[in-house]
Structure 1
């Protein structure tokens, strides 16, 4: 139930801004900055970083306990984990690739969707949120797969899959290359260059990741009372840099307090993030479908494929409620 509350809260945040397609302001309270909706980056900074700073300030958390032991070889045991968690990797790669191909979806959505799926299918969902390796493997696999999948619409159709490929498309145009089917016919060497760069980038991630591990252990040795103000400073700079406006800082602080209150009352943040990220796309797809169906909900079930997807969606939504109801009925009075 708390997960649903968090999800609907995220969907409500996604509704802030101009109505689609009428263009009527919703929940803006007369603020022109909210006309374009809630900026994703300040909201995420607030929900995750600022809420943690507030928690440390309120609880007076002690310094991190760092064991003075050698890290050793971080790659040790990766083969065993590869065998043990292969379903999570396969599922994350498939999900990430599928979401990455969708224009504008991005790796963040893929990671959160895969994290939710991993928790749903896990035998130990109570460990999620504590750094459980099962959720980390699936979400990071999905994140990496989405980054690669975003290049599919960018190179094949000239449609950016995310912000990175949007910049790449602009660079290709500056170089006289037209992203699309003609790129494969007229400049196939450019495609092979992209593939080679991908391979080199993945290889370069290994030493860079090892260096980041050592830097992370050094940062953890710093006192928390000194780290939290520095973290808050970086949060403020990042939120301001999004639009070079104080509006981002205010938004960050509001969501920081919201995230702090949610975690204090045991409400998960992940569903709220999914609601914020997917809310706009959900509304656009729903409104477009309703316009095509002349306002009839049965239009979602007229064609076989649409009917199948609709039935699956309803089952996914209703099965958890039915399972919870059966569990409550079976409990002895």
Structure 2
């Protein structure tokens, strides 16, 4: 109880509440501008969090990410351009409804479903995380090795598109994680004689380059900069929401639970949660033909999943120190900067900070209602923001943010090089999430592997000598063999059909 009251005191003070309000407005602005993702918004906040206490710093990131995910629905509805990747799953439905004169009704449904999904995911986070932390206290280097490998494997198999490209993207991140001093011999690796690289590649310049700078290059390399904004219609924001929720309450619960579950998988995130939830809703719907023509059912499923996926991604980040998505990957870096080590011990050593984090999640989702309503009512202000003026300002923020971490020009060069590489990869449909997880988990994977080898005198079977380690190892191997099993099953089904007797 003392820790709980301490957590409330950390949140309900003028400084933290002011930061939450400012972060909510910033998140709405960034999410509503096409091309500026929630991850980019969080990455731009990192230099500012240097000067904050731990609670306001985490509150700013949580609130910004939640608001940006919802705000991405605004340009998706009016312009058919998703503001964030999480909005892409149902952008067709939203825009078709806007063309029917139901733009505000659609955004009102998006807003309420996003709030419900976020609160649902937060409840799961509150009740599941402490229990998982007790199990995680039994983990050794063997279990953490398999857990890191599980996260890297999930980032490949959950990625949308080519798995080969996802694997190659992962290798890019793993390569970056090897830069610096070898943990065993102390020999420098891939430093090219640059002293600043002895400590490894800093995570934040890579994030800024991979997301913010990449989006800037995408904008200036795109030919469809100018699109006409449809007139804002006079339909009510929340007028039809109660009847939609009454009719599709099963979709709301299914989308929220699916989003939380998928968000908890390392490497998945809100965008994949939205896609999978939308696909599940369509497959179970009685009106499948209505999908794609402006059907509110698909919006209920996917918009509740993307915000619940944000909360779900914090489960592995807090309990195991394994990022659930790119946003929590940034958060882990911020926690380390604040002297807190993500993992099971944070629930014992964090004191009131953990309860403060849970409280922030509830406030961030509740404050979404008034600020989201204002954003919907004034949607034209966000849509008409001149991006040609905005993008150079963001570029300045990128350079200053990368330099401010270590006051080193090397980090600026890293940001520029990674941004160029990310632009080339993105233009060729390479996913970015595996590369990010490769960089974040590469060191964890290597360190725990080498520690385990030292403990067992090089015996590889020792990775299966403990019950939890053996279970995680079997899960990872089954994930690797899953494509082979699927291929063999399809071949068997095809052969059995060919051999089945045909009736004349």
SS in 2 for 1:83: helix
* Correspondence for 1:5 among 150, 158, 168: 168
* Correspondence for 1:19 among 158, 182, 194: 182
* Correspondence for 1:89 among 217, 231, 256: 256
Cα separation, partners in 2 of 1:324 and 1:214, compared to 1, 3 Å: farther
Q: Conserved in 2, the CA contact under 8 Å of 1:240 and 1:246?
A: yes
> Structure 1 CA distance, aligned partners of 2:348 and 2:186?
33
1:113 aligns with 2:245: no
* Correspondence for 1:251 among 395, 414, 423: 414
Cα separation, partners in 2 of 1:325 and 1:296, compared to 1, 3 Å: same
Deviation at 1:43, TM superposition (A): 1.0
Map of 2:284 onto structure 1: none
1:66 aligns with 2:229: yes
Map of 2:482 onto structure 1: 319
Deviation at 1:228, TM superposition (A): 2.2
Q: Conserved in 2, the CA contact under 8 Å of 1:114 and 1:142?
A: yes
Map of 1:241 onto structure 2: 404
SS in 2 for 1:59: coil
* Correspondence for 2:207 among 24, 44, 66: 44
SS in 1 for 2:229: coil
With normalisation by structure 2, the TM-score equals: 0.48
CA RMSD of aligned residues (A): 4.4
Cα separation, partners in 2 of 1:4 and 1:83, compared to 1, 3 Å: same
Aligned residue-pair number: 296
Map of 1:54 onto structure 2: 217
Cα separation, partners in 2 of 1:322 and 1:68, compared to 1, 3 Å: same
Cα deviations by residue, 1:249-295 (Å, 9 ceiling, x for unpaired): 21111111011100122211121122122222222222222222211
1:303 aligns with 2:466: yes
Deviation at 1:233, TM superposition (A): 1.9
> Structure 1 CA distance, aligned partners of 2:335 and 2:374?
24
Cα deviations by residue, 1:148-170 (Å, 9 ceiling, x for unpaired): 887789xxxxxx9774598597x
> Structure 1 CA distance, aligned partners of 2:361 and 2:319?
13
Unaligned runs of 5+ in 1: 100-109, 126-131, 154-159, 170-178, 185-189
Map of 1:173 onto structure 2: none
Unaligned runs of 5+ in 2: 1-163, 281-297, 321-330, 341-346, 496-504
Q: Quick check: 191-200 or 33-42, which moved more?
A: 191-200
SS in 1 for 2:221: helix
> Structure 2 CA distance, aligned partners of 1:273 and 1:192?
28
* Correspondence for 2:311 among 116, 137, 144: 144
